[in-house]
């Protein structure tokens, strides 16, 4: 991991190596953290953060489920992200805000433990590898089921629930696959270990509804918006594993993974980066890199910054 100089912690900057926690941090024992994954991109008008406000609103929703008071408004957190980018003099990178219950009383009742909020930024290239953006990844349908709305609600992005994704990722990797796709308890496709899933069939784009226990991904919403604008029909509907096996094209999307084609699922070959995947991937990268005016409203610059 490539480090940067400073991390924003509870309102001020600390050197990267000093941003430590106590071993009795509540979140370390019980998973009581909520976080976001965001990307910033270099654009001709300066560094822009992709859908920053939407990410911060999801952060706030996640925190509210676990009764954590973030102590900062969405605007303040957004400004803190821009400030962290500026102080580290960094361009395209990954942005990780996390709020967690710190050291204090032990036990499951968390409300007497302090909430800490940090924002870290660092360079992070293509999550599933640069080559995957072109060639696609191999996926395995996990034998682990996705957590559900009445166990660990997937609509919130909480640290503890990622143990579910870690199990799926470990299994997929042990079996020689690049990534795992999880089914929900009912057997319908939910999402990847850290990405949403889309399938193309006869020119129509399908993706599971958020009621299928997938994270309401911000890249997912972006892809739906772009596809609709490009005249591609999008249907949010329950999918079974054979819908993926028989898909003309399948792709994963997420902040880290951006738009990554799927080359095969459980060994069944797909069309890889077929025409619709390519069109959406190209539109996505043109937008985030500030080269597509149609979706420029999704790029957020520091307040007061001049946008060319």
3-state secondary structure 217-228: CHHHHHHHHHHH
Q: Does 261 bind ligand PMP (CB under 6 A)?
A: no
**Pick the catalytic residue: 6, 140, 157, 169?**
157
Give the strand pairing for 234-236 and 249-254: unpaired
Nearest to 182 by CA among 150, 219, 138, 212: 212
Instruction: Between 96 and 241, name the residue whose CB sits nearer to ligand PMP.
Output: 96
CB 249 within 8 Å of CB 271: yes
Instruction: Between 195 and 243, name the residue whose CB sits nearer to ligand PMP.
Output: 195
The least CB distance from residue 41 to ligand PMP, in Å, is 14
CA dist., res. 261 & res. 249, Å (int): 8
Q: Does 195 bind ligand PMP (CB under 6 A)?
A: yes
The least CB distance from residue 265 to ligand PMP, in Å, is 17
CA dist., res. 224 & res. 1, Å (int): 32
CA dist., res. 236 & res. 239, Å (int): 9
The least CB distance from residue 143 to ligand PMP, in Å, is 17
CB 197 within 8 Å of CB 189: yes
Name the segment binding ligand PMP (CB under 6 A); options: 123-131, 137-145, 168-176, 212-220. Answer: 212-220
Q: Does 219 bind ligand PMP (CB under 6 A)?
A: yes
Among 178, 191, 243, 300, indicate the residue that binds ligand PMP (CB under 6 A). 191
- Per DSSP, what are the bridge partners of residue 139? 179, 265
Among 6, 26, 60, 220, indicate the residue that binds ligand PMP (CB under 6 A). 220
CA dist., res. 211 & res. 223, Å (int): 18
Q: Which two tokens stand for residue 95?
A: 């942005």
Q: Does 218 bind ligand PMP (CB under 6 A)?
A: yes
Q: H or E segment at 99? A: strand 93-101
Instruction: Between 8 and 59, name the residue whose CB sits nearer to ligand PMP.
Output: 59
Q: Does 97 bind ligand PMP (CB under 6 A)?
A: no
Place of tokens 């995947």: 277
Q: Which positions from 150 to 169 touch ligand PMP by CB under 6 A, shown as an x/- string?
A: ---------------x----
Q: Which positions from 114 to 153 touch ligand PMP by CB under 6 A, shown as an x/- string?
A: ----------------------------------------
Q: Does the annotation count 157 as an active-site position?
A: yes
CA dist., res. 40 & res. 28, Å (int): 28
Q: Which two tokens stand for residue 163?
A: 């143990």
- Per DSSP, what are the bridge partners of residue 205? 200, 234
Q: Which positions from 31 to 50 touch ligand PMP by CB under 6 A, shown as an x/- string?
A: ------x-------------
Which residues does the annotation mark as catalytic? 157
Query: What residues line the site for ligand PMP (CB under 6 A)?
Result: 37, 165, 191, 194-196, 214-215, 217-220, 254-255
């Amino acid at each position: 991991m490539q480090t940067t100089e400073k991390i924003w912690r509870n309102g001020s900057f600390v050197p990267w190596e000093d941003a430590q926690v106590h071993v009795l941090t509540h979140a370390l024992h019980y998973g009581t953290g909520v976080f976001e994954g965001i990307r910033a991109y270099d654009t001709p008008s300066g560094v822009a953060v992709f859908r920053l406000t939407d990410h911060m609103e999801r952060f706030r929703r996640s925190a509210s489920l676990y009764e954590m008071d973030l102590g900062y408004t969405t605007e303040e957190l957004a400004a803190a992200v821009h400030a962290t980018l500026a102080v580290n003099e960094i361009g395209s990178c990954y942005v990780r805000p996390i709020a967690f219950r710190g050291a204090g009383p032990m036990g499951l009742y968390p409300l007497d433990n302090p909430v800490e909020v940090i924002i870290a930024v660092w360079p992070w290239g293509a999550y599933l590898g640069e080559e995957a953006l072109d060639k696609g990844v191999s996926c395995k349908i996990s034998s682990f089921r996705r957590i559900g709305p009445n166990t660990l609600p997937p609509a919130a992005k909480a640290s503890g629930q990622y143990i579910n994704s870690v199990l799926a990722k470990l299994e997929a990797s042990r079996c020689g696959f690049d990534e795992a796709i999880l089914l929900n308890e009912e057997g319908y496709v939910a999402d990847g270990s850290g990405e949403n899933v889309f399938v193309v069939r006869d020119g129509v784009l399908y993706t599971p509804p958020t009621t299928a226990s997938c994270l309401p991904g911000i890249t997912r919403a972006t892809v739906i918006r772009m596809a609709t604008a490009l005249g591609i029909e999008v249907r949010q509907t329950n999918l079974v594993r054979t819908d993926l096996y028989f898909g003309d094209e399948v792709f994963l999307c997420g902040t880290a993974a951006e738009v990554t084609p799927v080359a095969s699922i459980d060994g069944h070959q797909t069309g890889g980066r077929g025409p619709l995947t390519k069109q959406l991937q190209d539109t996505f990268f043109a937008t985030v890199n500030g080269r597509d005016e149609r979706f420029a409203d999704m790029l957020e610059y520091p307040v007061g910054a001049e946008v060319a």
